[in-house]
Amino acid sequence: MRCIVLANGEYGDLTFYKNVFKDCDIVLCADGGANYAYQLGVIPDCIIGDMDSINENIIEYYTSREVPIKKYPRRKDFTDIQLALSTAEEMGAQEIILLGTQGKRFDHSLSNLYSGLEYVKRGIKIIHYGPECTVYLVCNKMSLEGRTGDLVSVLPLGGGAAGVYLKDFEYPLENVVLECDNPYAVSNVLAEDTAQVQLENGVLAVFHYPG
């Protein structure tokens, strides 16, 4: 089951996201992500958060269309993205694509990345999708689709990553250990339109910058 989560970050040109909703089973909005769902003409299955960044007229619009709203107090122990991810898992999502999770608030961007750690370890596919960069969380292997010459950085997330292999990159890696205090696997380049990323232990964040 495929789920889209809209966050309240940076989106850029909204036309970029038109096709991402195809073959989507669930759409969730983390608070102000509903503002972007409204602009995209999307009716979400649920809006989740403390409702401190959603426009009042948009709350009224979605309420009139009987969209469920799960409101939490502003003083809480989880971010809106964490709450949305938890809801997605409860609804049976096996692939979660997050929009608007990257932006000017670097702390928010990092928090959003870390929020997916436990989910990817449980076998749920986590993707942070954007026009300038798409970030994949990987704990076993993936085929990265792009174009020869695309820029790719690979960083361990939440600890070291062991048994890392990068195939069909300009700078391949074979059975290496990547540590957070030695983040050298940046600014790699696709040598083919499809490349392979694999690891034995840990979680990698794969940053893909399309050319």
Q: Are residues 97 and 146 in the same domain?
A: no
Proportion of the chain in helix, strand, coil states, percent, rounded to 5 = 25, 35, 40
The Cα-based distances of 79 to 3, 7, 74, 90, 187 in angstroms read 18, 11, 10, 17, 31
Task: Tell whether the model's pLDDT for residue 141 goes beyond 90.
Answer: yes
Q: Please report which residue ranges of 6-151 form alpha helices under DSSP H.
A: 33-40, 56-64, 80-90, 106-115, 117-121
Whether 120 and 203 have beta carbons less than 8 Å apart is answered as yes
Q: Are residues 27 and 72 in the same domain?
A: yes
SS3 99: strand
The span from the CA of 62 to the CA of 33, in Å, is: 13
DSSP state of 21: G
| Structural tokens at position 61 | 């619009």
Point out the domain boundary residue: 104, 131, 158: 131
Point out the domain boundary residue: 78, 107, 131: 131
CATH of the domain at 169: 2.60.120.320
Q: Are residues 160 and 85 in the same domain?
A: no
Q: Are residues 49 and 97 in the same domain?
A: yes
pLDDT tier, 52 (very low <50, low <70, confident <90, very high otherwise): confident
Domain assignment present for 22: yes
Q: Are residues 111 and 190 in the same domain?
A: no
Whether 199 and 163 have beta carbons less than 8 Å apart is answered as yes
Q: Are residues 102 and 156 in the same domain?
A: no
State if pTM tops 0.85: yes
98 bridge partner residues? 5, 128
**CA-CA-CA-CA torsion sign (132, 50, 76, 3):** negative
Structure confidence by residue, pLDDT tens digits, 68-101: 999 988 888 899 999 999 999 999 999 999 999 9
Mean pLDDT calculated for residue range 141-156: 97
Domain assignment present for 188: yes
Structure confidence by residue, pLDDT tens digits, 160-182: 999 999 999 999 999 999 999 99
Domain span at residue 107 reads 2-131
Structure confidence by residue, pLDDT tens digits, 95-132: 999 999 998 889 999 999 999 999 999 999 999 999 99
